[in-house]
Structure 1
């Protein structure tokens, strides 16, 4: 009897050790990523310290009411992201934990490039909720596609209300050739031995999209959450520009933000750090804003949406990992 008890104790200890090791490894990677972000931020701050110093001086005397409005809009973005993620799957997700995951994902998004951090966190969460990996990835792709389409519609609508702000870029001759090449590759892939598997994957994606849109509540959550998320980020920048008294109409600021953020998404930097800052500052300057004021507006937007929530978001990410929610 004592031998069985000792064997059971050893087995339990072994299982605990084997499950604790991956958790420790993930914690080490999260810590290393956090340190990398802090070091990169310190390097950029040291390199551009005069601009940051003047920007911080302007923000220190800015309108506090507008800055608080921008902070409130930032808080709402995570709820809208959670709403869109729920709309991308047919299964009900735990609401509070879903919002916490979006908050943590926004922090992870500033550690890895091109949205990989946020995508990994969301896929892992959906898998923990019992959704298979393939369908979790599909839900993430549906959410991203809805966000892109909503941004395109908003840019087109705002461009009509603010004529002359944006110019249609010239399509190089290689553009249609590249699209044709992609179409040929897809056609050859579908006719290859991998064709049945690819067609099965496409059929599964279509089935998931139909399943979501067959429920009006899910479709409204997907598209409404995506729309509100994009608009609220524009509202944050509008609030900062109003706080420092930039002479730009809110509709024009929203158009510049949506166009700049869409262009910066093509550059694979963590959370758009560097790419969005440069493109957005250039867009504001091209619209007639002085360079110093444009840098201040971008700095204020980044403080509200990135730097203030970063450490709390990483702490929430670690808490979710410890609670086995990820």
Structure 2
């Protein structure tokens, strides 16, 4: 029996990873394409009564104010895209970035605390060749700037409108404040314990913090990035409150624009500790309470919040899911 030279012996075939096989790749693509549509169907089944009631009330409202609400909703996606660009040194194509934020709005209603929008944005940034550490740092900067800018808008609103009711009327009770403080403390303690006892997390965490600090310092030396980051972050809550004010004006809500802005900011602050998908539920209840606290009737306040959800959430949900599916199908996400 003759022996083959060692160089002529064929190497054993490496097993194909099931995740890299063409069949598995097509299956993953189909799942990512159909998942947003499935989530839309689930949300419709869960909140079908609210959607129906809101649509019925909006059918009798002033269409000019409803058009204003729809326009401010669209401008909100533009503001979100500006903040995303402002949190990153690299220049992103505005068209695909805007499409990703429109799709992120649909994904944001599937996971709490904005995780859906962050996941879509992270995939988009990675597809544009942004390193993972820098992409994650931009998400962290985005999450930090938004509440800071929202607080600044709240302070400016209070200072610019001294005739508004005192904020003490809108503060939650002691148990709600205790729950919010306990939730924040639990999150910080959990993060500290993970970093202390899980060594594999220390280096990625330190890289993330270092990259975030370097990028934040670099971004704040560029006026265009500063304007996009802070201007867009301040415009987002103002546009959302303007949507509510427009819907309220269409339904006869007896409150001024400044009162609605303050009510929206206070409601978001009170309900921010409850990680509901897209803020649906806790923010709605808190917003109704704050509107009533400013003197609006309960029925009109409830109708305003439901109408706001229909225009800002439900109407864009199906188109957003279709855009999300298209972006996933084309490999952008």
Interval of TM-score (by shorter of Structure 1 and Structure 2): 0.7 to 0.9
- The aligned residue for residue 6 of structure 1 is none
Q: Secondary structure at the match of 2:47?
A: helix
1:229 aligns with 2:236: yes
8 Å contact 1:269–1:275 — kept in the other structure? yes
> C-alpha displacement at 1:189, in angstroms?
5.4
8 Å contact 1:70–1:235 — kept in the other structure? yes
8 Å contact 1:78–1:99 — kept in the other structure? yes
Q: Secondary structure at the match of 1:79?
A: helix
Q: Secondary structure at the match of 2:274?
A: coil
- The aligned residue for residue 77 of structure 1 is 76
1:33 aligned to 21, 28, 39, which one?
39
Q: Distance in 2 between matches of 1:119 and 1:284?
A: 30
- The aligned residue for residue 279 of structure 2 is 272
8 Å contact 1:212–1:218 — kept in the other structure? yes
- The aligned residue for residue 262 of structure 1 is 269
**Residues 108 and 15 of structure 1, relative CA distance in 2, 3 Å threshold:** same
- The aligned residue for residue 10 of structure 1 is none
Alignment of 1:129-208 (within 5 A): 129-160=128-159, 161=161, 162-167=163-168, 186=192, 197=203, 198-208=205-215
Alignment of 1:117-136 (within 5 A): 117-136=116-135
**Residues 130 and 247 of structure 1, relative CA distance in 2, 3 Å threshold:** same
> C-alpha displacement at 1:59, in angstroms?
2.8
> C-alpha displacement at 1:17, in angstroms?
2.8
- The aligned residue for residue 246 of structure 2 is 239
Q: Secondary structure at the match of 1:111?
A: coil
> C-alpha displacement at 1:265, in angstroms?
2.7
- The aligned residue for residue 17 of structure 2 is none
> C-alpha displacement at 1:188, in angstroms?
11
Unaligned runs of 5+ in 1: 1-13
Q: Distance in 1 between matches of 2:186 and 2:310?
A: 42
> C-alpha displacement at 1:313, in angstroms?
0.4
- The aligned residue for residue 213 of structure 1 is 220
Q: Distance in 2 between matches of 1:70 and 1:99?
A: 19
> C-alpha displacement at 1:19, in angstroms?
2.6
1:282 aligned to 283, 289, 292, which one?
289
Q: Secondary structure at the match of 2:92?
A: coil
1:250 aligned to 251, 257, 260, which one?
257
Q: Distance in 2 between matches of 1:69 and 1:203?
A: 43
CA RMSD of aligned residues (A): 3.0
Alignment of 1:110-121 (within 5 A): 110-121=109-120
Q: Distance in 1 between matches of 2:69 and 2:148?
A: 25
**Residues 252 and 269 of structure 1, relative CA distance in 2, 3 Å threshold:** same
> C-alpha displacement at 1:83, in angstroms?
0.8
1:23 aligns with 2:29: yes
1:231-261 CA distance string (max 9 Å, x none): 1111111111111222111101101011212
Q: Distance in 2 between matches of 1:116 and 1:194?
A: 23
**Residues 61 and 217 of structure 1, relative CA distance in 2, 3 Å threshold:** same
Q: Secondary structure at the match of 1:272?
A: coil
Unaligned runs of 5+ in 2: 1-19
Give the 4+ runs in structure 1 shifted more than 4 A: 55-58, 168-172, 178-196
Mean alpha-carbon deviation: is it higher for 266-275 or for 304-313?
Answer: 266-275
8 Å contact 2:33–2:324 — kept in the other structure? no
